[in-house]
Amino acid sequence: MKVCLTWFAVIWMMAVQAQEGAPTLRIASPAKTPAMVSTPKQFITGVTCKECAVTINDEPVKVYKTGTFARELKLTPGTSTFRIKVTAGKKSVERSVTFEYSVPLPPQPVDKPGIASLQVFPEGNLILQPGDPVYLEVKAYPGSIVMVDGTLLYELPTGAGASVPGIYKGVYVVSENDSIPRKLTVTLTTKNGEVYTKTTPHTIATMSYYGSDALRTTTRLAHLKYGWGEDRLGGAKIGYVDSLIPMKILGKAGRDYKVQLSPTRSAYIESDYVELLPRGYTLPPVLTTKMTISGDSTHDYLKMALQRRLPYESRQLVAPAAIEIDLYGAVNNTNWITQLASAKEVERVEYAQPADEVFRITIYLKHAQHWGYSVYYEGNTLVVKVKQQPASLYLKDLVIAVDAGHGGSNTGAQGLTGVIEKNVVLDISLKLKAALEREGAKVIMTRTREQFVENRQRILFYRDSTPDILLSIHLNSAVDPINAGGTMMFYRYPGFRMLNEVLYRRMQELGLRPGGITGSFNFMLNSPTEYPNALVEALFLSNLEEEALVVDEEFRIRMAEQLVAGLKDYLEQCRAQQP
């Protein structure tokens, strides 16, 4: 908030100076001069008085109604100086900025005996099984012999996986002798017999005979991942699983345990979401039993009793609409399915055993549109809770969740004028709430004021509140203040694509650029399967033209109205698809 107030104070002072006839200029980028850069594409951005004229090296530059301006540069190697001139009437002010552009050198080989760097995959401290591979890549003095604890690494020919001489790759195979955690030692021997060593940054070890070989999930937010990879969205998720589900440990990479789902399928799970079980905790295959499908006024339920809780993976299918669940560690012993007349959304259920200890349940739905589902356990009984299509497909009879992104210390993006994403999206969300309530909808929100709400709290709140639809409102940002822009929609599951498509069309009617629709998006608020959801990246706050739009209250009102119109379109399409 202090930063936000400081920026607005600067803008206010500039406005006062402009009223007094003095031109104003604040250069935002480059942040300092000379600017040392390694790419030719750069930008000069700044803020001036709204009525001022700006030139850069005597070429006019557009000034937006907020007083912001930007110029894209294509630098040549060396020193480039740009003169920025701001004029108001007969008065002017000038500043100069300088860029020092150095073309990055191509990769260089190691020019003296030694080991420059080494990488290990997977990363982090590793707990593995005998026979598991550890992949190494070493950059070292060319033409040498490089080994890792007795295993030879091979120098790759230039162009065949190596950009320069001296790139060595190989595989260390874990053995039973690796029982005590230790760092691997890489040894380089030159042609002259000189020896150099370097150890790996992390340790490896086999699973201890006395250590735990099983774990159990401890929270409803536990999720399985495909691998140990991480990015700003947290790595690729298979999906959430319930608490108290035991799984066999195969190893550990960093903070992620590798667990066995079936004889041919493994996954990873973060250590924060599990507890270790005593050594000797056995997990034999579990026989499936009969299934029962019933319903109440809002949901259908598939139930199947098991001997213990099993891990699972679920998927949405479309055309025809269905929910597919793979139950791991299960062996088919199901001989009948009882479907009661109280079930209103489930059309039929089929099952199969596509692989050893993989039991697949396919739930076919009566309506083309997915309205959500959840998978959990009641004791040791598997439950698939399928949301029925609402009895009324009109806003006045629905619960809409409006999630204002960011908040508190999580400020989000910031525009050149100093406007901050968390404040703008809260205002848009409150306007959207008011517009929906005028239509008769019930609206729930995680925050209606300036405050921090952690994403995990948001997920649990919406799971327990069971809205009919969720919209999470955000603003985008990029380094490029001119070319990067547009409205965008993000979803994860194919059954929720239609919602994103209709909202996207309506947002483009505001005159915003088409930024596209992104599926399989791994954002936390897109992860729940319980309700259709859309992440709305309304526009780019970093784009000067779009920032000038969103600081206008009338435009934010129109944005809220377009989102309401998109929801109406969505419901109309759902009504048209009814069997």
pLDDT in tens, 302-352: 999 999 999 999 999 999 999 999 999 999 999 999 999 999 999 999 999
**What is the tens place of the pLDDT at every residue in 382-438?**
999 999 999 999 999 999 999 999 999 999 999 999 999 999 999 999 999 999 999
Kindly indicate the confidence band of residue 233, based on its pLDDT and cuts at 50, 70 and 90.
confident
Q: What is the CATH number of domain 115-206?
A: 2.60.40
9-34 mean pLDDT: 73
Measured in degrees and rounded to the nearest 5, phi and psi for residue 365 equal -100, 155
495: closest CA among 239, 241, 323?
323
103: closest CA among 64, 77, 126?
77
pLDDT above 50: residue 250: yes
Give CA–CA dist 324/314, Å, rounded. Answer: 6
Give CA–CA dist 455/444, Å, rounded. Answer: 16
Choose the CATH number for 2-101 among 3.40.50.11540, 4.10.95.10, 1.10.274.10, 2.60.40.10: 2.60.40.10
Domain boundaries of the chain, sorted by first residue: 2-101, 115-206, 214-276, 286-387, 395-576
Q: Where are the alpha helices (DSSP H) in 439-552?
A: 455-465, 497-508, 544-550
Examine domains 2-101 and 395-576 and report if their fold is the same.
no
Kindly indicate the confidence band of residue 18, based on its pLDDT and cuts at 50, 70 and 90.
very low
Tokens at 330, concatenated: 């299960």
Beta-bridge mates of residue 60: 55
Residue 428 burial (C-beta neighbours within 10 Å; 0-12, 13-18, 19+): buried
Give CA–CA dist 223/209, Å, rounded. Answer: 27
Measured in degrees and rounded to the nearest 5, phi and psi for residue 482 equal -115, -55
Give CA–CA dist 120/132, Å, rounded. Answer: 13
Percent of the chain past pLDDT 90, that is, above it, reads: 93
Mean pLDDT for the chain?
94
Q: Which CATH architecture has domain 286-387?
A: Sandwich (2.60)
Kindly indicate the confidence band of residue 4, based on its pLDDT and cuts at 50, 70 and 90.
very low
State the virtual CA torsion across 495, 501, 502, 505 in degrees, nearest 10. Answer: 180
Q: Report the Cα 214 to chain-centroid distance in Å.
A: 29
| Strand extents, DSSP E, 222-276 | 223-225, 237-240, 246-253, 256-262, 265-270, 274-276
Full-model pTM = 0.92
What is the identity of the amino acid at 199? T
Give CA–CA dist 561/395, Å, rounded. Answer: 13
Q: What angle do CA 564, 570, 571 make, to 5 degrees?
A: 95
Report pLDDT for 145: 98
Report pLDDT for 273: 97
Contact 363, 346 (CB under 8 A): yes
64 dihedral zone (left: phi>0; alpha: psi -120 to 50; beta) = beta
Tokens at 292, concatenated: 């029962």
Report pLDDT for 208: 83
pLDDT above 90: residue 125: yes
Choose the CATH number for 395-576 among 3.30.565.10, 3.40.50.20, 1.20.58.1030, 3.40.630.40: 3.40.630.40
Report pLDDT for 21: 66
DSSP 479: S
pLDDT above 60: residue 1: no
Tokens at 41, concatenated: 């594409």
Choose the CATH number for 214-276 among 4.10.80.400, 2.30.30.40, 3.10.20.310, 3.90.470.20: 2.30.30.40
- The per-residue b/e assignment along 172-182, b for 16 or more CB within 10 angstroms, e otherwise, is bebeeebeeee
Report pLDDT for 20: 53
Report pLDDT for 6: 45
Give CA–CA dist 155/174, Å, rounded. Answer: 22
Cβ-based neighbours of 206, under 8 Å, separated by 6 or more:
127, 128, 129, 130, 174, 175, 176, 178, 179
Report pLDDT for 13: 52
Contact 121, 200 (CB under 8 A): no
pLDDT above 80: residue 103: yes
